[in-house]
Amino acid sequence: MFCRECGKQISNNASICPGCGVSAGNGSNFCPACASELEPGSEFCRKCGTKLLKATRSKLAAGLLGIFLGSWGIHRFYLGYINI
Ligand SMILES: [Zn+2]
Ligand SMILES: [Zn+2]
């Protein structure tokens, strides 16, 4: 695959691009499948059709999930406290 930040070819199991130091899958400048340059915010590569995941969206989802699970845990704690 290719680094999405700088377009350099990196091995499929690399977690960080050796060229720019950005973690693999981050960045929005190049297609990870064919290394063609992307327009900012594109969801598909226009050249090869690869669907591009947005790192910011998954980070937001993880954050919301963390908040949800955190408040759920507190909620359970309160329920347990009432039962005692
Ligand atoms: Zn890179
Ligand atoms: Zn592509």
Mean pLDDT, rounded, for 9-19: 94
Counting the structural domains of the chain, the total is 2
CA of 68 to the centre of ligand 2 (A): 35
CA of 77 to the centre of ligand 2 (A): 48
CA distance 27 to 11: 16
Domain match, 64 and 33 both: no
pLDDT tens for residues 57-76? 566 777 777 777 777 676 66
Domain match, 77 and 49 both: no
| Amino acid 55: pLDDT | 55
Global pTM reads 0.60
What is the chain's Cα-based Rg? 19
CA of 77 to the centre of ligand 1 (A): 45
**Residues sharing a CB contact under 8 Å with residue 53, sequence separation 6 or more, in sequence order:** 25
- What range does the domain containing 61 cover? 54-84
Domain match, 12 and 41 both: yes
CA of 29 to the centre of ligand 1 (A): 10
CA of 31 to the centre of ligand 2 (A): 5
pLDDT tens for residues 22-71? 999 889 899 999 999 999 888 899 999 999 876 555 667 777 777 777 77
Domain match, 3 and 43 both: yes
